[in-house]
């Protein structure tokens, strides 16, 4: 009887943690998703060039580089919960203030701060959840956590479709400031990682943590993660932040473009759910390889699509495979390191990836300005993803259902 009760209590605790962390993840996705639509709206209102549009996407990722690195290290010092709450407040407040700006320069400053909060929160949240559930279901739960990203993107697409054309981009951004209030609730309800709590008195210096991430024991995993994170973030932010704008470039008006992107966004959820189902059966490497190759092929078809049907279908597959791969990536990353350096290692890998997030939107802006066809742009992303696949195959280790160190 007591065993059954213990199992029930663990399930309730796991589901509660997943829901609480997932709502925070939803708010993150809302902000990033809204930005892709805001860029298209700002281009009209502020008469932005393609390069300036690229900088809006990239400044977010520059902030993420700093946020992932600094807050990942901080989470190994003061705890996952504290950093999760701090970063949530940082990005939501800055997002609200960005709605009040009237110049591109001021907008970019606030988007940098937003990026720092987002960059810090995402790897820390996945680390927290990874350390709080049993090995047999750890991968599935982290992918399900990532699935809240699709919910946030869907809400962002709905807000953008109904709010931006009628009421403007400022109101859309103000709505993303709401998560700051949620942080108060988190302070009371969110438990910290039991593994971090157990080793709280055995922390190392920041420099010792960084050195250990690159020690002989973990160097191969670190190289693999940095390459994988770079190409995944490079391609994701290059493709998805430009998605509404690309639709406009292909001849659709803003309302139709937002509507089609909304349809594509719906395909993210089944992508996550299939990845969550496969990850404890087929393993992390299998899911990453299959979903990344699916992303690469979909990107190639999307970039060269000449009919509306092919454009929407390939866009849906792009969302399906790319976001499923993201879920596997967040499950896989914390499993490469022991508790004492886990958030540092995950944060550093995410920071390396965010450099790709800086370059991706800028590359699109430069190639569009230089009159390259959209098909050529997406071909670049296709080949970059294949490099990530090779890194997983040759450098990655399978971590399915392994107990965390």
Question: Any idea what the Cα angle at residue 64 is, between residues 58 and 67, rounded to 5°?
Answer: 155
C-beta of residue 261 within 8 angstroms of C-beta of residue 309: no
Domain-embedded: residue 375: yes
In-domain check, residue 1: no
The one-character DSSP state at 402 is P
**What is the distance of C-alpha 52 from the center of its chain?**
23
pLDDT digits (tens, 9 = 90+) for 331-366: 999 999 998 899 999 999 999 998 998 888 888 888
- Asked if residues 123 and 64 have their Cβ atoms less than 8 Å apart, the reply is no
Distance of CA 34 to the CA centre of its chain: 14
Longest dimension (CA), the chain: 70
Distances (CA, A) of 367 to 119, 311, 362, 374: 26, 20, 9, 8
Taking 50 as the pLDDT cut, the residues of the chain under it are 1
| Structural domain total, the chain | 1
pLDDT reported for residue 180:
63
Contact 357, 233 (CB under 8 A): yes
Domain that holds residue 349: 7-193+206-395
Q: What is the pLDDT of residue 12?
A: 59
Domain-located, residue 238:
yes
Which three-class secondary structure state does DSSP give residue 151? helix
Whole-number pLDDT of residue 54: 79
Per DSSP, 338 falls in state -
Please check whether residue 189 lies inside any domain of the structure. yes
Q: Quick check: is 215 in a domain?
A: yes
> CB under 8 Å to 71, separation ≥6 — which residues?
83, 86, 87, 116, 119, 120, 121, 124, 347
Residue at 199 is within a domain:
no
For residue 177, the model assigns a pLDDT of 76
- What is the C-alpha end-to-end distance of the chain, expressed in Å? 31
- Distance in angstroms (rounded) separating the CA atoms of residues 376 and 162: 32
Rounded CA gap, 211 and 219, in Å?
10
**Which of 61, 73, 55 is CA-nearest to residue 31?**
61
Closest CA to 54 of 382, 358, 380, 376: 358
- Angle between the N-to-C axes of helices 2-45 and 254-266, in degrees from 0 to 180, rounded to the nearest 10: 160
Q: How many CB atoms lie within 10 A of CB 251?
A: 9
Least Cα distance to 154 among 36, 316, 266 occurs for: 266
203: left (phi over 0), alpha (psi -120 to 50) or beta: beta
- Residue 405 inside a domain? The answer is no
In this predicted structure, what is the pLDDT of residue 285? Answer: 97
Alpha carbons 174 and 93: distance in angstroms, whole number: 9
**Residue-wise DSSP of 33-53:** HHHHHHHHHHHHHTT--HHHH
Q: Which residue from 53, 45, 61, 49 is spatially nearest to 102, judged by alpha carbons? A: 45
- Of 323, 176, 328, 330, nearest to 264 (Cα)? 323
Cβ(219)–Cβ(283) below 8 Å = no
Please report the pLDDT score of residue 26 as a whole number: 86
Please indicate, yes or no, if residue 35 is contained in any of the structural domains: yes
Tell me what pLDDT residue 5 has.
Answer: 54
Residue 193 Cα distances to 85, 129, 221, 265, angstroms: 14, 8, 23, 32
* 201: CB partners within 8 A, 6+ apart: none
Q: 255: domain CATH number?
A: 1.20.1250.20
Q: Say what the pLDDT of residue 1 is.
A: 47
For the segment 176-204, what is each residue's pLDDT rounded down to a tens digit?
777 667 766 766 677 777 777 776 666 67
Burial 52-90 (b: 16+ CB within 10 A, else e): bbbbbbbbbbbbbbbbbbbbbbbbbbebbbbbbbbbbbb
């Amino acid at each position: 009887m007591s065993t059954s009760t213990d199992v029930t209590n663990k399930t309730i605790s796991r589901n509660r943690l997943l829901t609480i962390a997932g709502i925070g993840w939803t708010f993150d996705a809302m902000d990033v998703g809204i930005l892709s639509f805001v860029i298209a709206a700002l281009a009209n209102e502020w008469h932005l060039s393609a390069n300036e549009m690229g900088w809006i996407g990239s400044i977010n990722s520059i902030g993420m580089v700093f946020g992932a690195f600094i807050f990942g290290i901080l989470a190994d010092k003061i705890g996952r919960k504290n950093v999760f709450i701090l970063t949530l407040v940082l990005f939501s407040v800055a997002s609200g203030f960005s709605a009040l700006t009237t110049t591109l320069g001021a907008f970019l400053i606030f988007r940098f701060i937003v990026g720092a909060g987002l960059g810090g929160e995402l790897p820390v949240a996945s680390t927290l959840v990874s350390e709080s559930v049993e090995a047999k279901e750890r991968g599935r739960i982290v992918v399900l956590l990532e699935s809240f990203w699709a919910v946030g993107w869907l809400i962002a697409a709905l807000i953008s479709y109904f709010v931006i054309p009628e009421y403007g981009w400022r109101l859309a951004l103000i709505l993303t400031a709401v998560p700051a209030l949620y942080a108060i609730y988190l302070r009371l309800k969110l438990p910290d990682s039991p593994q971090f709590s157990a080793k709280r008195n055995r922390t190392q210096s920041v420099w010792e943590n960084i050195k250990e991430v690159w020690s002989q024991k973990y160097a191969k995993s670190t190289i693999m993660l940095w390459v994988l994170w770079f190409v995944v973030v490079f391609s994701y932010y290059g493709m998805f932040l430009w998605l509404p704008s690309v639709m406009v470039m292909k001849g659709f008006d803003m309302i139709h473009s937002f509507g089609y992107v909304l349809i594509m966004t719906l395909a993210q959820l089944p992508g996550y759910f299939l990845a969550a189902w496969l990850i404890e059966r087929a393993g992390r490497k299998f899911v990453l390889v299959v979903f990344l190759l699916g992303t690469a092929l979909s990107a190639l078809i999307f970039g060269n699509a000449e009919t509306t049907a092919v454009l929407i279908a390939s866009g849906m597959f792009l969302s399906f495979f790319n976001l499923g791969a993201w879920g596997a990536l967040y499950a896989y990353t914390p499993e490469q390191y022991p508790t004492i350096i886990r958030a540092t290692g995950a944060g550093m890998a995410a920071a390396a990836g965010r450099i790709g997030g800086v370059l991706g939107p800028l590359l699109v802006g430069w190639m569009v300005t230089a009159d390259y066809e959209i098909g050529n742009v997406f071909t670049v992303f296709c080949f970059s993803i294949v490099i990530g696949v090779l890194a997983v195959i040759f450098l990655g280790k399978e971590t399915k259902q392994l107990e965390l160190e």
